[in-house]
Structure 1
Amino acid sequence: MAVFNILHITKYQYNFAVKESSNEIRLFPHNFENQDVLHYDLMISHYPEVTYSNDYHGNKVGHFNILEAHDEMIIQSKMLVRINHSLKIPEIDDTKVSAIDLHNDIYLLRLSYPEKIKKQAEIEAILKEIHFEEKSIIDIAYACNQYVFNNFEYTKGITNVETTVDEILGHKKGVCQDFAHVLLQLLRTAGIPSRYVSGYICPNESGMRGEGATHAWVEIYTPKQGWLGIDPTNNIWTMDNHVKLSVGMNFKDCSPAKGSFKGLAQQTLSVSVQIGYEDGRHIQEINDVALQKNSVVFELQSNHTEQQQQ
């Protein structure tokens, strides 16, 4: 069991003022079997009114607008969370994929469909290589997890939030969200309902990749044990230092913050995560997030606007 105090700061900055910003956030940690949210606090610059709803996957979603002109938007999410993953350590379980009753559960059925990609034959070859048809659900998940860990290089700056599974398979490099997307393609092709998980991996001095920052992993469904978390970036089942924020089909369903605005401006995104321990220690990680590139037309218009301002 572990208790973590997490401060997550998302900062958007614009080179020119924008207005009528409309936003959607998924920054609310789950209360579930092995995770208790002891305290939560949300602060947003310009103090907009936030309304809440639950999405298809059961995630709590915040919606807000900033109508006035602004050149910066800061979202500060603070949480105190207690984790006890010993409640969800996978048991010895020989249940096969054929035992999953997909036809009577639309949600599980949807999560068992692999994405349509050009390199699907490569995915099927990997599954054949690990002899997935002979294995249980738990063993397939572990074998696929191990394959991704051993055959993909953890490298920052190669990919962004728009990188496709085909591209990841091509260069075999990426970060946690890329590892999760490849693992999802493998598991769903094998017929296992699987979902993307967004959250944090809190440092435990074991040197795991992704510690102290936003993290991503995968959950698989088994008829006997329900949802189990598995982390391809570190080749482990989820532990007491994995804090869960949201779940979905992929990253797009779990994006911590997304939205739109009016104005001809280029934006930059910086994410800071600070994690505190019960003994008073803390660690902080700051990342500049790679966003989708602007169109050529946008760049030309933006450059023209900038020249007029000089």
Structure 2
Amino acid sequence: MITFYIKHITKYSYSNPVIDGATLIRLHPINDEHQQVVSHFISVTNNSLVETYDDFYGNKIGTFLITEPHDELSIISEVEVNKISRLFPDDSNDVKTQWEELKLRQYEADIIDFLKPTLFSGSEEVLNLIQSKKLNEKTPYKAALELCEYVYSNFKYIQGVTNVDSTLNEVWDLKAGVCQDFTNVLLQMVRMSGIPARYVSGYICPSDDITRGEGATHAWIEAYIPFYGWLGIDPTNNAIANENHVRLAVGRNYEDCSPVKGVFKRKVESDLYVKVEISTTKHKEDIEVPPNTFTGSKSNNSYQRNLERIQQQQQQQQ
């Protein structure tokens, strides 16, 4: 068992005061037999009350409102969590039996949402790859790991070439991106091979074997392995997710797992500051939250993008 202490700061700085901010957060770590949350504290601008509920996929969701004018929004999450190693699948059942088990379970409530892939420009290429590698003649466990290695080997980890709104087509054409992009690609490839797969958001903790994704939230997939359950697979690091991966949320895609999103009133620009610090020792120097030093950056204004999406949907419905 390893204990991690995680401090996650999200700070929005606005060009002018906004009002009636409604925010949804997925910053409550999953609590189960492999991940035990010892303590968790969330503090929000103006000491806003954070109300919680469980969504359809079992994630704990937090919501809060700030009605008064504010020119910044700060969300600080502090977690102490115990991570417990889990055994890898023994993969002893024969190939045919395992694929038949997947077919038998494909319409069950905890599986059905994670089977349908999204078509994109690389779909035909992926199907040819699955056929050429004869993945249906291998166990689902080995097939998923082989696809993970393919993404890791054929996509370059480059920060800044994509953003949260980059499409599968763009990432596939670039053959580059960050953890979210690697995860989105592998998610579709695994589903196209007939294996249920779900998106996971969380944190990656310091390790000699893991070099990518520290300092912010991380993403990977979980593939459903017959007679075992959900297995975390990290294409960014070509690794099986285990004690160094702390899970925040699972879902069909990024939209089901995004750590922070919301809307507000008034048209402004915003800057986003995110910092995640992880340690195995409890007493560590605090991370300072920067003051509002709005610079005019538009690239990370996720609040404004969410507001525009809602307005577009309302116009289409009308």
Q: Give the TM-score normalised by structure 2.
A: 0.86
Q: How does 1:258-277 map to 2 (within 5 A)?
A: 258-277=261-280
Alpha-carbon shift at residue 240 of structure 1 (Å): 1.6
Alpha-carbon shift at residue 48 of structure 1 (Å): 1.6
Question: Residue 294 and residue 243 in structure 1: after superposition, are their counterparts in 2 closer, same or farther (change >3 A)?
Answer: closer
Matching residue of 2:311: none
1:91 equivalent to 2:90? Answer yes
Partner of 2:46: helix, strand, or coil? coil
The residue identity in structure 2 corresponding to 1:261 is F
Alpha-carbon shift at residue 278 of structure 1 (Å): 3.0
Matching residue of 1:306: none
Partner of 2:184: helix, strand, or coil? helix
The residue identity in structure 2 corresponding to 1:142 is L
For the 8 Å contact 1:24–1:64, the answer to whether it is kept is yes
Question: Residue 88 and residue 282 in structure 1: after superposition, are their counterparts in 2 closer, same or farther (change >3 A)?
Answer: farther
Unpaired stretches in structure 2, ≥5 consecutive residues: 290-296, 309-318
Unpaired stretches in structure 1, ≥5 consecutive residues: 299-310
Q: How does 1:1-310 map to 2 (within 5 A)?
A: 1-85=1-85, 87-94=86-93, 95=95, 96-100=98-102, 101-278=104-281, 290-291=300-301
Could you tell me how far apart the structure 2 residues matched to 1:152 and 1:38 are?
37
Question: Residue 2 and residue 281 in structure 1: after superposition, are their counterparts in 2 closer, same or farther (change >3 A)?
Answer: farther
For the 8 Å contact 1:276–1:283, the answer to whether it is kept is no
Alpha-carbon shift at residue 125 of structure 1 (Å): 2.0
Query: For 1:246-304, what per-residue CA distance to the aligned partner results, in whole angstroms no more than 9, with x for missing partners?
Result: 101111111111000000101221111111213867898x9x98446979xx9xxxxxx
Could you tell me how far apart the structure 1 residues matched to 2:156 and 2:100 are?
33
Which one has a larger percent strand, Structure 1 or Structure 2? Answer: 1
| Backbone CA RMSD of aligned residues | 2.4
Question: Residue 283 and residue 170 in structure 1: after superposition, are their counterparts in 2 closer, same or farther (change >3 A)?
Answer: farther
The residue identity in structure 2 corresponding to 1:235 is N
What is the total number of aligned residue pairs between the two structures? 294
Question: Residue 18 and residue 113 in structure 1: after superposition, are their counterparts in 2 closer, same or farther (change >3 A)?
Answer: same
Q: What is the percentage of aligned positions where both structures have the same residue?
A: 39
For the 8 Å contact 1:10–1:75, the answer to whether it is kept is yes
The residue identity in structure 2 corresponding to 1:268 is D
For the 8 Å contact 2:251–2:257, the answer to whether it is kept is yes
Partner of 2:48: helix, strand, or coil? coil
Question: Residue 59 and residue 294 in structure 1: after superposition, are their counterparts in 2 closer, same or farther (change >3 A)?
Answer: closer
The residue identity in structure 2 corresponding to 1:148 is V
Partner of 2:268: helix, strand, or coil? coil
Partner of 1:46: helix, strand, or coil? helix
Q: Give the TM-score normalised by structure 1.
A: 0.88
Question: Residue 4 and residue 199 in structure 1: after superposition, are their counterparts in 2 closer, same or farther (change >3 A)?
Answer: same
